[in-house]
Homo-oligomer: A and B are copies of this chain.
Amino acid sequence: MTDYGYRDPYVGVVKAVIKSINPDVEIIDLTHGIERHNVLEAAVMLAVSAKYFQPGTIFVVVVDPGVGSARRALVIETTHYILVGPDNGCLTLMAEQDGVKHVFDVSNTKYRLPEVSSTFHGRDIFAPVAAWISRGVPLEEIGVEISYDSVVKVRIEKPTVSTGVIKGQVLYIDVFGNIMTNITQREVDEAGFQLGSKLLVQVGSKRELCTYETTFSKVPVGDYACYLNSWGYLEVAVNMGSAAEKLGVKQGDVVVFSRAS
């Protein structure tokens, strides 16, 4: 997972480095379309996607606005997985969700490429580190164990519920303009929203009527729906339209759901 996009040969070169160290490893592109330098987006997308991967999978995440600065390069061993990436929080939501076991600083590992650039650590550090791990090199040999306390974190605020009102935050806006919040089944139940009930969704000064449903296709074309999305989070969508555009929403915005009666 990177923010390299699909125009430059960055991703291809990262794969070439991995395959030249371990030709037998299987590489899956989670996505390279993370918004440039959007560490929170990377952290969220990694956390929601991870459980669909087999235990033992090594995740390489390169969303790295601080490349070339003093930020560390990390390997985090969690209960089921191994995470490789910069020390800026992009790994931490998933690490905490799966359970942190050990953290290693690999900034100065001998398992880097011989020449390390200041701007492309995906190729020069993260790819070779991941490839050598996949070949069975022990993590202790690759890096220096450090405390998870010292790791830079990304934190999602917890949504709050009071008498039928949920206040949450926009975690992510997908390519369809669907707005994913940090609200889960638990808060929806606590607020007592029922399937089919009408809600008001408010972002900034905009307020719209939406129906709490199982999915967006349950409401008429052009109408707002909200539903627990495929990752388990409350999402606002417009059937056959872009909710994010219509509401003028961006990542991090506060969003409030209340009953419309």
Give me the interface of A with B, judged by CB distance under 8 Å.
1, 4-9, 11-13, 15-17, 19-20, 23, 26, 28-34, 36-37, 45, 48-49, 52-54, 57, 65-69, 117-120, 123-124, 174-176, 214-218, 227, 229-230, 240
Contacts and interface: CB of A to CB of B under 8 A. Distances in A.
B17 A52 contact: yes
Copies of this chain, tallied across the complex: 3
Nearest to A172: B8
Interface centre among A20, A31, A218, A240 (most CB of B within 10 A): A31
A20 B119 contact: no
Interface centre among A29, A216, A230 (most CB of B within 10 A): A230
Label chain A's interface by main secondary structure: loop
Given A11-B31, A124-B230, A174-B7, A119 B16 contact: no
Contacts of A29: 11-12, 15
Contacts of A31: 6-9, 11-12
Contacts of A37: 240
B20 A52 contact: yes
Contacts of A66: 217
A183 to B, nearest CB: 16
A240 B65 contact: yes
Nearest to A15: B28
The list of the 4 closest CB pairs from A to B, nearest first, reads: A68-B215, A120-B230, A7-B33, A12-B30
14 contacts: A5-B33, A5-B175, A7-B31, A9-B48, A16-B49, A16-B53, A16-B57, A37-B240, A65-B240, A66-B217, A67-B217, A69-B215, A117-B230, A124-B230
